[in-house]
Amino acid sequence: MAVSLLALWFLFREVGGSDVFGTLGRADFGKLALAWVLFLTGIVVRSFRWRALLQGLRLRPPFWLLLKLYVIGGFFNAFLPSGFGGDVVRVLELGREAEDSSAALGTVFVDRLTGILSLMALGLIVLPFATELAQWLRWLFVLVAVGGLTGGGLLLEGKCLGRLTSRLPGKLSLAGEGKLAQIYVAVVGSGKRAVFLALAYSTLFNLMNIGVHWLCALAVGIHLPLTFYFVLVPLLSLTLLIPLSVGGLGARDWVAQMLLGPNVVPEATVAAWTLSVWAVTAAAGLVGGLLYLWQGIAGLTRGDD
């Protein structure tokens, strides 16, 4: 929280906090509300993606449970360090329900990984048509996307990394009987059909996610070509991996400033855009927070452990 607040303080001092809040005050709240609905719809799509991976391991928890855990996870994504705090909650909760923590961790990992890979692939497909992007930004994205797709492909292929780590000590090897190896079995065990289905769901969700960023941009007066967002959103999403800020707050805002810069969009408007994206995701997360609170109160009333 301290890192996020400090990053925001420096940002407001640099770009003008009054200008940022003035832009947010003039924002089109109809477009922000539409972005919020689209983000909530994306949670449903991601729940189907997670179910496909679990079914590949012959696990069939009720869909409503997966949806509930994804909604609750959204709260922790917004209010815990990094943008993946909710994944820890999903692993713990599903591991308790399904009594298989390795499968829970493995499928949550692949769930996230397919989302990132799909986002990178979409960006590469659209990149030739994004002629208005600066040359350095195009090359940066190519390097990140190709590296990410290569690494992700190796992780999902399984055999290559298994052979490479087979001589490592049991605790570090992806082959054998160690805990890490058990988790990796769940990572690669869903099967090709489940992974391809997860990638299809990821593509649909990522189109929605790009739509959320585009609507938030329109709401604060940014009118960049839609192709911009197929490159910007993947790069901004990677900042959520940094576990030094709450929900990416502060980190994502500074990265956006570097990617766009004052020559493309005024700095205060860029800050208003990224803050509005966080506000939309946090507002969706509050639904999960209320659900988690109600679940906890209901458990206490029933006397659950």
- What is the residue-level pLDDT of the chain in tens, covering all 305 positions? 777 788 888 888 888 889 999 999 999 999 999 999 999 999 999 999 999 999 988 888 899 999 999 998 888 888 777 667 778 888 888 877 766 677 788 888 899 899 999 999 999 999 998 887 888 888 999 999 999 999 888 888 877 777 777 777 767 777 767 777 777 877 888 888 999 999 999 999 999 999 999 999 999 999 998 999 999 999 888 887 776 777 777 888 888 888 887 667 889 999 999 999 999 998 988 888 888 888 777 766 665 55
The Cα 44–Cα 283 span in angstroms is 16
Q: Provide the phi-psi class of 62: left if phi over 0, else alpha when psi is between -120 and 50, else beta.
A: beta
Contact in structure between 57 and 189 (CB atoms under 8 Å):
yes
Amino acid sitting at position 282: A
CA-CA distance, 35 to 250, in Å (whole number)? Answer: 21
**Euclidean distance between CA atoms 47 and 67, whole angstroms:** 5
Strand, helix or coil for residue 82: strand
Contacts of 171 (CB under 8 A, 6+ apart): 178, 179, 180
Given a contact cutoff of 8 angstroms between Cβ atoms, the answer to whether 251 and 35 are in contact is no
Kindly state the tokens that stand for 297: 């109160």
The residues, any chain, with a CB within 8 Å of residue 110's CB and separated by 6 or more, are 53, 156, 187, 190, 195, 198
- Total count of domains within the chain: 1
DSSP three-state, residue 246: strand
Structural contact between residues 74 and 87, judged by C-beta atoms closer than 8 angstroms = no
Q: Exposed, middle or buried: residue 202 (CB in 10 Å: 0-12, 13-18, 19+)?
A: buried
- For the purposes of burial, counting CB atoms within 10 Å of the CB of 31, is it exposed (0-12), middle (13-18) or buried (19 or more)? middle
Domain assignment of residue 149, given as a range: 2-302
Q: What is the structure's pLDDT at 83?
A: 66
Cα distance between residue 235 and residue 299, in whole Å: 40
Q: How far is CA 219 from CA 116, 259, 269, in A?
A: 26, 20, 10
Q: Is the dihedral of CA 242, 212, 271, 144 positive or negative?
A: positive
Residue whose pair of structure tokens reads 């790069």 in the numeric block:
235
Token pair 């609170």 in the structure block, residue: 293
How far is the CA of 228 from the CAs of 9, 137, 231, 237, 240, in angstroms?
27, 10, 6, 14, 19
